[in-house]
Structure formats: C-alpha cells, structure tokens
Amino acid sequence: PPLPESGDQPDVTTFYSIQNEFPEVYGLREGEIVGTAPPLRHAQARQLKGYLLFFEQLMLNYCAQLDNIQLLFSIRPEVDQTYFFQPLYDVPAARNLFMAFLSEVDGVSLEAGEQAWQTFKQNGNNGYIQAQKEYAEDEATFLRRRNQFTGHLLARFAEDLSNYSSWSIAQNGGQISPALINDKLAFLNGFSSLAHSRATAFDYSATRTDEQGNSTPDVWDSENVSGFEKRVAAKLGISGFRRRSLATSAGPDAEEGLHLVEHLLLRPGSEDSDRMEAANLQREEGAPPLIMIPDPYPFQLSIFLPGWAARFQDEEFRAVVERTLREELPAHLFSWIYWVELNEEALIPTVFTTFENTFRLWLENLHPDNPEDTRNNFVKAFNELAKSKYATLANTYQPFEL
C-alpha cells in the first residue's frame, strides 16, 4: 500500500532531562535550594548535577546523531562533520554550570543574570559550543570516518577504489587527504552516468557549432569519449577528463590524460592500405613465454599515456593506472598499454606530437567517406610511436592455470 501523505514524525532531538524526575530534596531544579543554605549544600547539588550532565550530554548527542543520519550517507561535498551534538541548555538550572563561559559574552556583565544567559545561548559559537566541536572530532577523525562512509556507499554498488585509495594514503604519510574524499564523492555523484555508459563508445558522428555557425566534428577538446575512459579517469581522480592534446606541456603542471585507439576502426579497406604492425613483446632470458597476437585488429585497443605528467612519473601510481585499466576493460578485449617518455632534452618527442596531430585529423574524418590517406597517415604515426624508444609497452602476461 502507498505511504500515507501525512503522519506523525517525532522529533528525535527532543530530550527530557532525568533531573526533572529527582525529588526536590536533591535541589537540582531552579529555586529548590534556598539562598540561606550553606555553601556545602550548593556544592553538593552542583556536583550531582555535573555528574548527571555527563550522561545527559551523551544522550543528547545520540539524539543529534539520529537526527543527522542522512548527512552521514550524504554525497554532498559540503558535509564537514560526522559526529553531531546538542547543547544542554534545557537541563534544569543549567545556567549555574555555565557561569565560566558567561564571561565571554561581550558587553554583558555577569550580574545581568537572565540577559547574559540568553545572550550566551544565542551565540552559536560560544566557548561551550567550541569545546563540543573540538571534543567531537578533529580533521583526521572526520576524514577517516568520511572515507569509511564513502567506501560503504561505493560497496553498495559493487564499486572499488581501493587501489587508488591505498596509493593516495601511502603518498600522504598514512593519512587520508581531503583530495581522496573529493575524488570518491565525485565518482559517487557521477555514478549514474558512469554506470549506464560504461560500455558505450564515443560518438564519432557528433558535431558542434562554432561562433560562425559552422558545424565541426565534436571529437577533440571534447568530453565526447568512451564510457570506459570516463570510468578510468573517475577512478584515478582525473577531473574534467576530455580528449585533448597531451603534448602542450611537459612541466610539473602537465595535465593527466590518455589516448585510446580502437584497432578495429583502423582495419584496412583495401589491399593497398597501410596496415598496423603487431606489437613485438621483448622478454628477458629465462622469462616465461609471452602471448603473441598475429592479427592486430580484432578485440584489441592501444592506450597511450603521458609519462611526464606529475603523478604518472610515480612507478607505484603507474601500477595503479595499469591495474585500473585492465579491471575496467571488458574481458573479451585485449589492451596494449604504452607509457610515452620525454626525449633526451626533456621535451615531448616529435613522434608523439605527430601521432596526436594525425590522430586528431583521423578522428575528425572518421565516417564512411573517410579519405584513405587520412587513415594511412595515422597508421604510420601509430606504428612509429609504438616502435619508438620513447614508448614503453607495459604488457607482461604470465602463464596461469584455471
């Protein structure tokens, strides 16, 4: 049956102090101890009240935690706490125990009594609130718990970012960084698109209109990429991923990215067409035999990554990238993963620049009427880059038994 349109929704933050249930002889409520009582009697009442407040604060915080449980599982980046609390202002005669904080009220003397107390309660950042915040959780505790909650949410959808998370934590001295949390949240916020488009290719027929009203192919400087590339970028914390030139900068600020080439799209249309060359895997003496694939076209793709990007220079991160690529790729596809390095002058090699230029031209002409020489030029540049000393093939497949 459908849920009722309206109903009772109890306020879980409501808390009735147990001090209201104590007999008057304990003197826990306002006015229950006369002014003529000796100081010892006042001290005994306040000591008992202070003892009870410890447990009542725990109960209040428990209620606040229930009231904010939706924030614990929120994927909004602005969430900045995982432990919540409430003030004890409604406990009988609570003002007597907050006298130490009342001196912080600017412009109000302690003799003002009720006025000072009301001003103190209205100050959302008074000393009592600040002490609660510091006690509840520090930044390290927040990041640790936030990481656990985001990991739980990822596990609900059978997603795993443990490879990237482990590397990030190790790089940060064993601590969880805000950047890692933001990367996980970005993945969760984009999960709908990343999930349903994971097996989709890029649309080579897509166009865009420039300022002059001319229609041009939307394949370069564009987010028109495959779902596989989007998922890999999201899992590696590469934000704003798009197909673009990776040869524009070789400095420390060089952006991360990759170029993916589907071999089947390069299949020759005639006997006179240039052909891709099968990759030649070199192995050391005594190493187990490697898998050789004589036909370079069916069920294969090549991935070129710029080894000069900041994180891509880290060998451990390269291992994370390679493992993520293989995990995200459908099992029936074989990947050739190349790391392209700088030349002897610490500059981007010309062979890679030529590869990018011909790659872009080929993509922009990728349709049934594609000029044959456009494909041939790219195949030549592809083969030259793959065989060059600047491209390192990362494939190493060991024999295995089922």
pLDDT (tens digit, 0 to 9) for every residue of the chain, 402 residues total?
A: 566 666 667 788 888 899 999 998 888 888 788 777 898 998 898 899 989 999 999 999 999 999 999 999 999 999 999 999 999 988 888 887 777 666 655 555 555 667 778 888 888 888 888 888 888 899 999 999 999 999 999 999 999 999 999 999 999 999 999 999 999 999 999 999 999 999 899 998 888 888 888 888 899 999 999 999 999 999 999 988 999 999 887 666 678 999 999 999 888 766 555 656 655 555 556 655 555 556 788 899 999 999 999 999 999 999 999 999 999 999 999 899 999 999 888 889 999 999 999 999 999 988 655 566 788 899 999 999 999 999 998 875 543 332
pLDDT at 177 (0 to 100): 96
Give the per-residue pLDDT at 284: 58
DSSP class of residue 9 equals: -
Alpha-carbon span 142 to 154, nearest angstrom: 18
Provide the 8-state DSSP code for 294: S
Q: Is 353 helix (H, G, I), strand (E, B) or coil?
A: helix
393 burial (CB, 10 Å; 0-12 / 13-18 / 19+) is: middle
How, if at all, do strands 334-340 and 300-306 pair? parallel
Scored b (16 or more CB within 10 A) or e, 74-103 reads eeeeebebbbbbbbbeebbbbbeebeebbe
SS3 category, 305: strand
State both tokens at 295: 């036909």
Q: What is the DSSP code string of 335-347?
A: EEEEEE---TTSS
Quick one: tokens of 343? 């030349």
pTM over 0.75: yes
Give the torsion sign (CA, 46, 49, 53, 54): positive
As a dihedral over the C-alpha atoms of residue 364, residue 368, residue 373, residue 377, rounded to 10 degrees, the angle is 50
Bridge partner residues of 306 (DSSP)? 340
Give the Cα separation of 204 and 221 in Å (integer): 13
Place of tokens 């590869």: 355
**253 token code pair:** 């600020």
Sign, CA dihedral 177-179-183-189, equals: positive
Q: How far apart are the first and last CA of the chain?
A: 50
CA nearest to 350, candidates 319, 377, 381, 373? 381
Distances (CA, A) of 330 to 169, 195, 219, 231, 301: 28, 14, 23, 12, 11
CB under 8 Å to 99, separation ≥6 — which residues? 110
Query: How long, in residues, is the chain?
Result: 402
Residues 335, 321: Cα–Cα separation, whole Å: 13
pLDDT computed for residue 99 by the predictor:
72
Check residue 10 and give its pLDDT: 74
For residue 302, give the nearest of 261, 355, 255 by alpha carbon: 261
